[in-house]
Amino acid sequence: MCLGIPGKIVAIEDEARHLATVDVSGVRRAVNVLPVEGNGPLEDLIGRYVLVHVGFAMSLIDEAEAKRTLEALNELGEAQEEIAAMRASQDALGTQP
Amino acid sequence: MKYADEFRDPAAAKPLLAAITAAVDDLGATKDKPVSIMEICGGHTHAIFRYGLDKLTPEGLEFIHGPGCPVCVLPMARVDECIELAERPEVIFTTFGDAMRVPGSKKSLLQAKADGSDIRMVYSPLDALEIARRNPTREVVFFGLGFETTTPSTAFSILQAAAEGLTNFTVFCNHITVPPPIKALLDDPRMVLDGFVGPGHVSMVIGLRPYDFIAKDYGKPIVVAGFEPLDLLQAVLMVLHQIRDGRAEVENQYARVVPEEGNPAAIAACESVYEPRESFEWRGLGEIDLSGLKIREAYGAFDAERKFSIGYGAPRAKTAEPEGTMCGEVMSGRIKPPQCPHFGKTCTPETPLGALMVSSEGACSAYQQYGAIDLRRSAKAAVEPAE
């Protein structure tokens, strides 16, 4: 929850709510990109790498940095924890009407 | 050199370790009179143990583990209040999973859930918002927990709830900020600290300027660092060089991720939603001025304290920590975890007495997990033992 996890923005989901689809190690989820939007159109973010903190993209990073950070988080076991929390949260939303 | 082999780039670690050894020697620091560097962030504490950096670096260098693990500094009284909220029949209580196992005075959130309270673990406050949208007849409370890495997410979620006009979403705001406890530790005459390794991802949000007081007012160096072992070694070396050169500056080892000004959108969202509390209680450290955040009156409709008359907005009983535990002494770096009589005996990761044993970023859990109990070194504390 404290460390951000790198992901790649693959689509814009809901412009009004600033939501993009971000791929984090194969798990896709809606991420709020407001903190990294800047002034350009949202589409410009597609393909960019971001550090995601509890569902919010807090920083744009390059691909090499994304890879390094993910490796470091994997070795600490933190990446696995984050991804498990993401999956569990999505499953919970899916099953609760 | 067991751990060094696990570095992805051991060749790069060797010259850094040699330079650190040289710098420690230059300072004349020894096992009995070490140079003490505090890593503030729990993620850094975890990495130091994971890679055995405390063993790879010379004896004259002492790592003091700082208060930067939000789960670890959460007082029991706050956990009790979470449970009181969760036990209300109309409430769906949503929380990061990290908080589930923190002991309250009677039970943890995990036990409350087993007892029938509707407690749901969420990855993000966005998911708590979604639960509120889908359950308009229930009151959805999100437990706002964490430092500046999670604080903006809660603020953005409150702004989103306000924009949508949601009336069944509130936040139990227990967000805390990094700089005030550092000031409190620097003001503590028992602490002997020569410099700091600053948090990476917190700094990505708040930037570098909030640390200026450490250099300007207290004359101590601080270097913001990334999470790879090489980042940490590099940052430690930068701190040592500042000490050697008689400098006290805020430096950025992690500039590839941390901009000097932080994230302006996140800072703006926090400023509009929160204001500082006069003081806030930290487990082990006590009350610290201006160290917690509360929700501004303008967003009072989204404040669980106001809506349910609970928390800092209401009279509260002090809750004593478990008998004989020394969480506070560990938290403030006055003793090492194995010096607590409960460590590894009655307090283990499976059955934690104190929060430092709960989170993987807590010093006690890290000691336990990585077997970093080198009694020769842990027996010497960098500061005088607590009274």
User: Quick check: B381 pLDDT over 70?
Assistant: no
Percent of chain B surpassing pLDDT 90: 66
Interval B303-346: pLDDT, tens: 999 999 987 655 555 666 677 788 878 877 778 888 999 998 98
| Mean pLDDT of the region B82-103 | 95
Q: Beta-strand (E) ranges in chain A?
A: 5-14, 19-24, 27-32, 49-53, 56-61
Interval B133-171: pLDDT, tens: 999 999 999 999 999 999 999 999 999 999 999 999 999
Whole-number pLDDT of residue B383: 34
Q: Could you give the 3-state DSSP secondary structure of residue B22?
A: helix
* A15 to chain B, closest Cα gap in Å: 13
Residue to substitute from B9, B45, B124, interface A, most A β-carbons within 10 A = B124
Whole-number pLDDT of residue B324: 77
DSSP strand pairing (A5-14 vs A49-53): antiparallel
Lowest-confidence range among B42-51, B142-151, B319-328, B370-379? B370-379
Lowest-confidence range among B97-101, B115-119, B311-315? B311-315
Q: Could you give the 3-state DSSP secondary structure of residue B376?
A: helix
- Does the distance separating the beta carbons of A96 and B131 come in below 8 Å? yes
CB contact set of B325 (below 8 Å; sequence gap of 6+): B340, B342, B347, B353, B354
- Does the distance separating the beta carbons of A81 and B227 come in below 8 Å? no
* B130 to chain A, closest Cα gap in Å: 8
Question: What CA–CA distance (Å, rounded) separates B80 from B86?
Answer: 10
- Does the distance separating the beta carbons of A76 and B46 come in below 8 Å? yes
In the predicted model, what is the mean pLDDT of chain B?
89
Lowest-confidence range among B116-130, B274-288, B304-318? B304-318
Whole-number pLDDT of residue B382: 34
A31: closest chain B residue by CA: B126
- Does the distance separating the beta carbons of B50 and A75 come in below 8 Å? yes
CB contact set of B215 (below 8 Å; sequence gap of 6+): B221, B222, B248, B249, B250
Which of chain A's residues have a Cβ under 8 Å away from the Cβ of B126?
A: 30, 32, 55-56
| Mean pLDDT of the region B4-32 | 86
User: Quick check: B63 pLDDT over 90?
Assistant: yes
The DSSP element (H or E) to which B121 belongs, if any, is strand B119-121
Closest CA to B251 of B263, B236, B230, B264: B236
- Does the distance separating the beta carbons of A59 and B204 come in below 8 Å? yes
The model carries a pTM of: 0.90
What is the layout of strands, in order, in the sheet containing B139-146? B119-121, B91-95, B139-146, B169-175
Q: Does B207 touch chain A (CB under 8 A)?
A: no
| Mean pLDDT of the region B19-31 | 96
* Interface residue ranges in chain A relative to chain B, Cβ cutoff 8 Å: 1-4, 17, 29-30, 32, 34-37, 51, 53-56, 58-59, 61, 65, 68-69, 71-73, 75-78, 81-82, 85-86, 88-90, 92-93, 96-97
| Mean pLDDT of the region A54-74 | 93
User: Quick check: B224 pLDDT over 60?
Assistant: yes
Question: What CA–CA distance (Å, rounded) separates B63 from A49?
Answer: 33
B95: closest chain A residue by CA: A89
- Does the distance separating the beta carbons of A92 and B121 come in below 8 Å? yes
Question: What CA–CA distance (Å, rounded) separates B10 from B162?
Answer: 51
Q: How many Cβ pairs closer than 8 A exist between chain A and B?
A: 138
Contact yes or no for B359/B365 (Cβ under 8 A):
yes
* B29 to chain A, closest Cα gap in Å: 30
Please identify among residues 93-132 of chain B the ones whose CB lies closer than 8 Å to any CB of chain A: 96-98, 120-127, 130-131
Question: Taking phi first (over 0 means left), then psi (-120 to 50 degrees means alpha), and beta for anything else, what does residue A10 get?
Answer: alpha
